[in-house]
Amino acid sequence: METTMLRRRAFAAGAAAVAVGALALAGLTGVASAGQAAGTAPAAEQLSPGLIEAMRRDLGLDPGEARARIAGEYRAAAVAAALEKSLGPDFAGARVSGDSAVLTVATTDRADIARITGAGARAEVVGHSLDRLEAAKASLDEVARKKTPENVPSWYVDISANRLVVNASRTGAADGLLAAAGVPRELVRVDRSAEQPRAYADLRGGDAYYMNGSGRCSIGFPVKRGTQNGFVTAGHCGTPGVTTTGVNQQAQGSFQGSTFPGRDYAWVATNANWTPRALVNGYGNGDVTVAGSTQAVAGSSVCRSGSTTGWHCGTIQQHGSSVTYPEGTITGVTRTSVCAEPGDSGGSFISGSQAQGVTSGGSGNCSQGGTTYYQPVNPALAAYGLTLVTSGTPTDPPTDPTDPPTEPGGTWAAGTTYAAGAVVTYGGASYRCLQGHQAQAGWQPPNVPALWQRI
């Protein structure tokens, strides 16, 4: 496993090392064109001073290095997404490393090396495909859904190790879980761990809110569902029907949907007194503008806003992790080196200007360091038919994204990353992308005018 400790280092070769921009995508089959790939980094003036300051404190980067790293990570995300589609079942994961965000893409087929290096990434040949490792992890998830495992706090696919890593306080506990799931040991590395992760209940992230006038959590990201405003947050914060009051203790809304355990997401519909903004609370350092929700590559920098500990940054360690809390097992969360404490739950994880997820739980604290998991935001949006409020959201409310389109067909495809300005066809019409995003099922262009404009 790659170390999570980051040190300040020379950055002279940064721009050259990550010059793997959108032009590299044009030669990759089955992916968006260069104009569609959301690999264009935000302009320097679009990045929050608070975000840059937190990266200086936690990652040891001066402002120029922080901006260069974010730019490199944006480009890496676009190239990685294209290669994942191009390599198909050979794909074994992608990650960035170092302050220069050097992209490494793994494959099980040596014949793919030229394609990977031609796209500007480092190639690595490994023994197990990402599909195979994720299938093994899914087997563990299925066993955990039936019975919460004891003494096994978390498990995840570690791309750099090309293994399914199982953290356990006792080796025998890991052996039992693997045996019950029928997972071959050749795919697994068992690590001893004293972690005792817990859901960050009674917490606040970006802005505080209170459940039924008592417990406290935090807003993840403002959203819209048709004409209804609201926000996404952690599922463990409340169940449908639970009412909320805002940071000013005034009536705010109620939970409409919630999933926990299994996943850890929820959404709250708010009343007309609350206006959604494409912002994350910067806690005195300037608010951060949210421009989209493109998922960052493993190894990328990521920062968290929380009411208890403010801004803290670290790196994305593994996507698609599973973690066991006392309430049950959560799957599909992202493991990070960012610290958090009670009061930070449900809050915003953001990489550059791209929304990543909402704080779920973890172990440790911000005095001695720790591990925090976030629930990715895109699955939450898709689960409830929500549209993320971003800097590109039009003032006219979107239609309900769950309504089916009248005409299928065209070049639009779920799972593709689109940038503002990209043009697709759907149902015989052409549409221009209004804000960068990763397309989800149900987000067909006719359904989400906040994302697409017919031309």
User: What CA–CA distance (Å, rounded) separates 441 from 434?
Assistant: 18
Told to judge if 128 belongs to the known catalytic residues of this protein, a careful annotator would answer: no
Contact in structure between 194 and 169 (CB atoms under 8 Å)? yes
Q: Which residues of 148-162 are buried (b: 16+ CB within 10 A; e: fewer)?
A: ebebbbbbbbbbbeb
Q: Which amino acid is at 418?
A: Y
Using CA atoms, how far apart are residues 41 and 353, in angstroms rounded to an integer? Answer: 9
Cα 80 off chain centre by: 15
Is 71 exposed, middle or buried, given 0-12, 13-18 or 19+ CB atoms closer than 10 A?
buried
Of 76, 71, 111, the C-alpha closest to 95 is 76
Q: What is the enclosing helix (H) or strand (E) of 181? A: helix 171-181
How far is 18 from 250, CA to CA, in rounded Å?
48
Q: Contacts for 433-436 with beta carbons within 8 Å, 24 or more apart?
A: 433/36, 434/392, 434/393, 434/394, 435/291, 435/292, 435/390, 435/391, 435/392, 435/393, 436/38, 436/291, 436/292, 436/294, 436/354, 436/392
Q: Which residues pair with 270 in a beta bridge?
A: 253
Helix (H) or strand (E) holding 79: helix 63-87
Is 319 a catalytic site residue?
A: no
Determine which one of 129, 258, 300, 345 is catalytic: 345
Catalytic residue among 128, 236, 312, 437: 236
**Residue from 58, 112, 158, 264 carrying the catalytic annotation:** 264
CA atoms within 13 A on the CB side of 347: 34
What's the token pair of residue 444? 């067909």
Could you tell me which of 2, 296, 300, 316 has the C-alpha nearest to residue 163? 2
- b/e per residue, 206-242, with b = 16+ CB within 10 A? bbbbbbeeebbbbbbbbbbbeeebbbbbbbbbbeeeb
Q: Residue 282: CA atoms inside 13 Å, Cβ hemisphere, count?
A: 19
Q: Which residues pair with 202 in a beta bridge?
A: none
Is 345 a known active-site residue?
Answer: yes
Measured distance CA(244)–CA(224) in Å, rounded: 17
Compute how many other C-beta atoms are within 10 angstroms of the C-beta atom of residue 405. 15
Task: Name the residues annotated as catalytic.
Answer: 236, 264, 345
